[in-house]
Amino acid sequence: MSRVALISVVTLPLLWEEDGVAQRSLPPAGQAGRSVVIASQGMVCSAHPLATQIGLDVLKKGGNAVDAAIAVNAALGVMEPMSCGIGGDLFAIVWDAQTQTLHGLNASGRSPAAATRELFAQRGLAEIPELGPLSWSVPGCVDGWHELHQRFGTRPLAELLQPSIDYAESGVPVPEIIAGYWHSSRRKLAADEGSSKVFLINGEVPRLGQIFKNPALAGTYRQIAQQGRDAFYRGSIAQQLVDYSRKLGGLLSADDLAQHTSTWVDPVSTTYRGVTVYELPPNGQGIAVLQMLNILEGYNLSGLGPQSADYWHLFIEAKKLAYADRARFYADPQFTKVPVASLVSKSYAETRRRQIRLDQALSDVEPGDPKLGHSDTTYLCVVDKNRNCVSLIQSNYHGFGSGNTPPTLGFALQNRGTSFALDAEHPNRLEPRKRPFHTIIPGLALKEGKPWLVFGVMGGDMQPQGHVQILVNLIDFKMNLQAAGEAPRIEHRGSASPKGRPADGAGLVLAEPGIPEDVVKELQRRGHRVERVRMNGGGYQAILVDFDNGVLHGATEARKDGAAAGY
């Protein structure tokens, strides 16, 4: 007898901002707007209910967590094209249940060989543009799929891509939040011939409930299904990308694509109150999570509670300290020595913690001395019946990336190259064939040597802040998996930039409506500049593995259209 899929779908009231971004009200801290999804055999969580169902179908047909993750990611490239797609990069953490080991995959691309600081200086550019072909780096997503599939996959790639090909050809209805994202990008899409052709319908952005088709992407997926990653990096797709780059005055060459490789890396960890939390090392910002947790571990947060001004003050200060280090040290380790072990050590956290004053906000925070020798993203997670786990995040960087879309291929090209600095002294300076600083980070945590939490939070600089808030909500404040993601959040902005820009003093604290007014006033009294926002950047998916009861808990939340489904 077949098991019935359990699905968690957003039902909270929808709000609209002036820029067209769909938003919803959130429940109070510690409460959930809906139940946690619980199942025994497998669980899939993603930012689109139909993509989640595709992953669940893969699991039911005998595929494993990696198979399902690839299928879901491909579907999201059709269904949520502003946030992700094969024109962008990918990072993943995989738990292999057979060997009881963790594996990290860095599938981010590198700058073109022709991308030099001298070239930008000759063109009179003080920064790399956020839009257009000069912001491109090599897209790493397809090679990421290849590496995951070669190492762990069990089902043919063509089988995993077929549901996405079908949706791209026949069409997919546009849900609420994604419709809002599309609306906010209308001018960007209209400004590019290819983007207009692929992502607009009769010159207009798709509306809520309208059917969107992308036959060009269906054709691209079909080539990848038949020929594998070489179709993208050496075959017809590669040639079309090079021709398109040449037409627009870009720097991408056939050799840039042909030489691209992903990198398997060892995840980096720290312990937080008995839980071992894993993130990927730079060029991403994942270790900022570990730095913040190490600082916060010195305080009794459970005694303060989630509605305490003291808690939020400590959180903001820990974030400032970690992000000061982020701006100074995080870069491609193939080009710059990054002191990862020192940065994530408990002893280093102790020295940073000493700078925090409970009664006064820090300003002009400098990086420490570890003894050196806006973004749109999609996150998904899968756990299968054998308890293989995949935490995967994939992005175009800004919404629809660079704003450039090859019309015959059907996907936007990322603008991740704009993250490079043009300052020759900065560790994240532009150099040929270098990986830029990255914001997207997957997370995974173990308890007693077994997977406990597979999780991620979307949203640029918000991502490490979101990871920490989720973990504190679960571990310190004992919220369930759904409540931990839906609880009101704070986002701090104004830290020093990975591009070399200085910090903005004490910065700006963005507080969601569920943060009490007396907490806001107390933070202001301590020197924090606080503004109310209807919703911070973010969007969360998570799966909690309960080995004691043999079940999986799945959650998603109201900042996205997402769904958690299990069987």
- Catalytic positions are 377
End-to-end CA distance of the chain: 12
For residues 545 and 454, is the Cβ–Cβ distance under 8 A? yes
The values of phi and psi at residue 508, to 5°, are -130, 130
The answer to whether residues 399 and 412 touch, using CB atoms and an 8 Å cutoff, is: no
> 200: which 2 tokens?
């607009």
- Alpha-carbon torsion, ordered 339, 103, 567, 376, to 10 deg: 50
- At 515, which amino acid appears? I
Name the helix (H) or strand (E) containing 530.
Answer: strand 530-532
Nearest to 451 by CA among 533, 326, 552: 552
Q: CB–CB of 325/291 below 8 Å? A: yes
Q: Where are the alpha helices (DSSP H) in 80-205?
A: 117-122, 141-152, 157-170, 176-184, 186-190, 193-199
Tokens 């991740």 belong to 416
Length of the chain: 567
Single out the residue of 396, 439, 445, 444 nearest to residue 136, CA to CA. 396
Residue type, 98: Q
C-beta separation of 552 from 42 below 8 A: yes
| Cα–Cα distances in angstroms (integers) from residue 349 to residues 292, 299, 328, 343, in the given order | 8, 12, 16, 8
Nearest by Cα to 419 from 118, 141, 110, 140? 110
